[in-house]
Amino acid sequence: MLDLARRATPVHPHRGRRTADVQYYTQHMSRSSHVHPPAPLLVVIPAHNEAESLAELLPQIQSRGTTVLVVSDASRDATAEVARAHGARVLQLPVQLGAWGATQAGLRFALRHGFRHVVTLDADGQHEPACIGDLLAAQRESGAEVVIGTFPERLSRARLLAWRWFRALTGLRVEDLTSGFRCYGPRAIEVLASAEATLLDYQDVGVLLLLRKHGLAVRETPVQMYPRRNGRSKVFASWLLVAHYMLQTTVLCLSRVGRLSLPRRRYADAPT
C-alpha cells in the first residue's frame, strides 16, 4: 500500500493562475526527491457509508492501474479502511459535506497534487468503470474541458420532465444534468476547486452553469450504467426531498439567468 501511494507522486505543475493549492504543490512536491512517470489521471469517488459497494467497485478500477481517490464523506462504516485496503488514496472529511462537497475535496486534491484530469464516479456501482476510457477518449476527440457520461434510458419520466424544466430555465444543452460520471480537464478542475464553487450542493446544474460562465465547453458521451446496487438515490428518496431539490435548483437557475457575468467576487475571506 505504501508503495502504491509513493509510486504516483505527481510531477505535473499546474499551469495558469497560481492558487494556494497549486503553490503548495509547486513548492513542496515538485522538488521532492522521487520523481516518477506522470500520473495525470485521478479517479475521484465520493462515498458516504459505501464500504460494501466499494469492495466490489475498487478491484475493477485498480486492475486498470489508475490512481483512485476515495473521499469518505464523514462515513461511519469502514469506507476508508476498505478503500485503503484496495490501494486507493483516501481523504476523510471530518464533517459531512454532501456529494458535491466531497467531490470538490477530490478536485482540490487533484489540483494540489498535480493531476491534470479527474474522472468522478459514484461509489454505489451505478457507473461502469470500463467506460472511463470512453470518457477520456471523448474528451481528447472533442477538446471539451468536461465530458459527461450519460445513460438516458435510466431516467424516469418524472425525471425527464424535471430536466426539461431546468434546461428551459438555463438554456443548457445537456441531456443528463445530474450524472455523476464525468471527466474534468485542468481548467475545469481549477474553476471547480475554487471557493466560488464551494456553496453548490449538487454536482449538477450549478456546476454546469459555473462552467458555462467561465466559458468551458461541456460534451456528453453515452456510457453504460446500472441500477444502484444498494439503496436508492439520496436526492430522489421522498417527495419532500424532491420538492426541496426542485425548488432549490430552480432558484439557483433563476439567480443565474442570462449570461451577463456579474463582477466576480473574490471570496478573500474563504480559506484556500
- 52 scored as a contact of another protein (CB under 8 A): no
Whichever of 107 and 218 has its CB closer to another protein, that residue is: 107
- 97 scored as a contact of another protein (CB under 8 A): yes
Closest CA relative to residue 99, chosen from 45, 168, 41: 45
> Shortest distance, CB of residue 196 to another protein, whole angstroms?
10
Q: Which helix H or strand E contains 134, and what residues bound it?
A: helix 132-142
Whichever of 107 and 135 has its CB closer to another protein, that residue is: 107
Q: Which stretch binds another protein (CB under 8 A): 75-83, 173-181, 210-218, 221-229?
A: 75-83
Q: Which stretch binds another protein (CB under 8 A): 83-91, 117-125, 177-185, 225-233?
A: 83-91
Considering CB under 8 A, how many residues would be counted as binding another protein?
33
Looking at residue 129, the DSSP 8-state letter turns out to be G
- 55 scored as a contact of another protein (CB under 8 A): no
- 74 scored as a contact of another protein (CB under 8 A): yes
Query: CB within 8 A of 37, min separation 6: which ones?
Result: 11
C-beta neighbour count of 150 within 10 angstroms: 20
Residues 57-91: b if buried by 16+ CB within 10 A, e if exposed: bbeebbeeebbbbbbbbbbeebbbebbbebbbbbb
> Shortest distance, CB of residue 150 to another protein, whole angstroms?
28
Query: CB within 8 A of 213, min separation 6: which ones?
Result: 256, 259, 261
Give the one residue of 14, 48, 86, 112 binding another protein; rule: CB under 8 A: 112
- Is residue 10 within 8 A of residue 22, CB to CB? The reply is no
The residues of the shown chain that bind another protein, judged by CB under 8 A, are: 2, 5-6, 71, 74-78, 80-81, 89-95, 97, 101, 104-105, 108-109, 112, 195, 198-199, 267, 269-272
